[in-house]
Chain A
Amino acid sequence: MSTLLEVSGISVTFDGFRAINNLSFQIGPAELRAVIGPNGAGKTTFMDIVTGKTRPDSGRITWGDRNVSLLGQSEAAIARQGIGRKFQKPTVFEDQSVQENLLMALAKDRNPLAVLFYRPGARDLERVAALADRIGLGDALLRKSGELSHGQKQWLEIGMLLAQDPQLLLVDEPAAGMTLAEREKTTDILKDAARTRAVVVVEHDMEFVRRLDCKVTVLHEGAVLAEGTLDHVTSNQTVIDVYLGR
């Protein structure tokens, strides 16, 4: 199987604290992966490194068919190459409408001059409307996103990710603060997205991970502790000791 993203042997230290310790990780072009682990295991730092927010002290990150190195590239440049990220806390532009949020995320030329003269055509608006339908916000296009509920904001952010049309989605705790019905819908959206692209989901909630029904990577103290199906990793004695047993 070909790999889309290959992270090998990265380490990063914050003020003497080793947040990531010789971590290696691979994901294929159309794969759903859950990353679990106790607090402080380095899940968010791992995403920060892949998206260019944090520079690792050592290691390599190669991306795509042409094996481009992502190290040293800016966040914006990495995002333009097809890596989308959803934050733990829903971060949508509250002062702007759902439509504006989605239009901004839509995969288009990002340079200022092109954006200044950009006016949405019928096709773009249709695409935005279709995306909004998919995330259950079809009726809320013109509402300010700040008026949306917490769950709807989470979906809007996932919708913005999809609008970016990335090859890899990094999703940090998508189900936090959601009800059961909302979680089910979120699972559907993510599983659907993973049919055409790679999706990495960081999650605490084991029930949610079980529903995703995918390969699981367990992180602990900045390194991979176990990898495999959920049943496989949950029967691993070390995983039980450091994570599940507590």
Chain B
Amino acid sequence: MQRSFVARNPSVLVFLALLALFTLTATVLSEGFGVGLISTSFIKTLGKTLCLCLVAIAMDLIWGYCGILSLGHFAFFGLGGYMIGMWLMYERTRTIVESALYEATIPPTEAEVRDAIGNQIFGVVGSSDFPVVWMFADSLAMQLALVVLVPGVLALIFGWLAFRSRVTGVYLSILTQAMTLALSLYLFQNDSGLRGNNGLSGLQNLPGLDAVPQSVVSVWFLWASAAALGLGYMLSAWMMSGKFGSVIRGIRDNEARVRFLGYPVETYKLVMFTVTACIAGIAGALYYPQAGIINPAEIAPIASIYLAVWVAIGGRGRLYGAVIGAALVSLLSTWFTGGQAPDLPLGFYTVQWVDWWLILLGLSFVLVTLFAPKGVGGLADLIADRRSPDRHGADLGPDPGSLREKEAVE
């Protein structure tokens, strides 16, 4: 009766195989490790796409499985990016400053080096002192821990306040969006300590590895992103396959019923909100070194809305749906907005996709929501011949004499 993990989740093996095949193909075709058919910038695009797939999985867990439409998960993604960005920027600036001061006749003191780094990093916002948030910027281990801790703790506090008051549905979505907006507005300020709207830049350069060309570094990040995505997929599938997954889906479908079964619903929601925020943070920490720059605009509420759109188009409540949606829509978006898509001459008007892509995306979102709520991932059901129960119009009882549904109205 009870089957093994793989038997219950056939998508995991298929997914891991496809992911491995994809990574291998990309590596073989890359400039750094293979024949050079794929440019380094496109390898970066692919690597970034894998990170977006990972944050989409987090979104699917919280929205598709737990039923909480969070419009804050891209903020957690951005925070993860900021945390790793601080170390990358600090360390790289330090190597530059040290090599410059090396020429000086009197060897510089620790404090002088630190001041010089501060000048370099914060000169752009008219300051030279390190804010408190940069306290651990010189320690890779600490910043890596913060990648998980900062989004996790923020989600924990926010979630505790929101879930404890039993805020649900669209009100909760609005609250999460307000949190995202507040965070991005705060980061836009110059005295936020994270360089205001300049953000952190030069993140693609790994400190101490100047000799390694970007063509190689990009493939490393592709591997790391693929590994994180694979692990994230397996972890999510494992979490959602057992009784925990049953409870979470139960909360989505009927929260009150789960409560009357004796489960502390608020605690479960809080666990999900925090865990998915941590996953989003990790995805962000892998994404931004490939993007090279992070600024508060990345955290703006619209990004989190995109995330919801990806998951909706890909198919909520199934992990591969989230991956398909994120990959498909973000790659298409790159293609359309990158000016590569050919214009569509209609005679009286020429459709330029750079302008019209958003309208196309919005339209497909509306159409998917209305006519194909299972999304693109729902196509898999056609192969697996899996149908969701639909008994409308049938007799109410197992006996032939039972009332029909429309007769049973009180």
Contacts and interface: CB of A to CB of B under 8 A. Distances in A.
Contact of A76 (B2, B242, B265): B265
B107 interface: no
A5 to B, nearest CB: 16
Contacts of B390: 146
B407 to A, nearest CB: 9
Given A74-B264, A79-B259, A177 B389 contact: no
A157 B330 CA distance: 44
Given A111-B264, A125-B1, A104 B398 contact: no
Interface stretch (A30-38, A116-124, A235-243): A116-124
A164 B264 CA distance: 15
Nearest to B398: A149
Contacts of A145: 389
Interface string A137-180: 00001101111011110000000100010000000000001111
Contacts of B250: 93, 96, 104
A94 interface: yes
A178 B262 contact: no
Contact of B397 (A93, A160, A177): A177
Contacts, number: 128
Contact of A91 (B249, B257, B264, B395): B257
Given A94-B389, A144-B389, A115 B399 contact: no
Interface size class of B (residues with CB under 8 A): 35 or more
Contact of B263 (A76, A118, A180): A76
Nearest to B396: A150
Scoring A87, A142, A145, A149 by chain B CB atoms within 10 A of each residue's CB, the highest score goes to A149
Nearest to B394: A149
Interface residues of A, number: 48
B371 interface: no
Contacts of A74: 259, 264
Interface string B78-115: 00000000000000000000000000000000000000
Contacts of B243: 100, 103-104, 115, 118, 120
B399 A182 contact: yes
Contacts of B247: 104, 115
Contact of A75 (B249, B259, B405): B259
Contact of A179 (B2, B263, B268, B397): B397
B264 A76 contact: yes
B260 A149 contact: no
A151 B263 contact: no
A74 B260 CA distance: 10
Nearest to A125: B1
Contacts of B263: 76, 110, 115
A104 B243 CA distance: 6
A112 interface: yes
Interface string B376-410: 00000000000011110011111101110100100
A222 interface: no
A160 B246 contact: no
Contacts of A182: 397-399, 402
A132 to B, nearest CB: 11
A51 B267 contact: no
A95 B260 contact: no
Contacts of B259: 74-76, 79
Contacts of A79: 259-262
Interface string A51-92: 101000000000000000000001111011000110100010
A76 B397 contact: no
B244 interface: yes
Contact of A149 (B2, B239, B397): B397
Contacts of B41: none
Contact of B1 (A87, A141, A150, A177): A141
16 contacts: A87-B257, A95-B388, A96-B250, A100-B243, A110-B262, A115-B242, A115-B244, A115-B247, A116-B242, A119-B242, A149-B391, A151-B396, A151-B402, A152-B398, A179-B397, A179-B399
Given A115-B242, A118-B244, 4 more contacts: A111-B267, A146-B388, A146-B391, A150-B402
